[in-house]
Amino acid sequence: MTATDDVFEIALRWGDMDALGHINNVQIARLFEQARVECFNSWFGDARKGIHLLVARQEIEYRAILHYSTDPVRIACSISDIGRSSFEFGYQLLDAAGAVCAIAETTVVIMTREGRPTPIPDDVRPILDEHKGEPVPFRRRSGTGK
């Protein structure tokens, strides 16, 4: 986590566990979704009117098993890259003991109401710039078999 990150506490649910007794990896994507929704609510106000945000890509690296706890996880959010009509949203999920259990990045595309990509609006770009942080420190990359 860096100084530019916003951190959201997200509660786990007993039902997020799968038959292996861990928080299921798909439910971890659900936790990231919730952090993203809360983060966008916090960052964007009227700036978001008239635009739609589309999830075009998502990558999650699972670093450690996440166990169910009544203590919430903390998800640190920042912008990891900014393009012309899309941006990269980065996350780091820490359990209650502070261990990094998963990191993720979501490519978000700005869409018109008609469903076509459109340049990042002038009132949205400064908000993204303000929250620009480090690249997400993925260790593994596809196609490497490592």
CA distances from 107 to 8, 85, 112, 124 (A): 19, 10, 16, 16
Residue 76 tokens, joined:
């640190």
Chain residues that interact with its own copies, rule: CB under 8 A = 10-11, 13-15, 17-19, 21, 24-26, 29-30, 33-34, 37-38, 41, 54-62, 68, 70, 80-84, 86-88, 105, 107, 135-136, 138, 140, 142-146
Q: Which residue has the tokens 């916090």?
A: 42
Query: Cβ 76 to its own copies, closest distance in Å?
Result: 17
Nearest to 61 by CA among 109, 18, 93, 20: 93
Q: Which residue, 45 or 84, is less far from its own copies as judged by CB?
A: 84
Q: Which residue, 49 or 146, is less far from its own copies as judged by CB?
A: 146
How far apart, in whole angstroms, are the C-alpha atoms of residue 7 and residue 65? 20
Q: Which residue, 87 or 124, is less far from its own copies as judged by CB?
A: 87
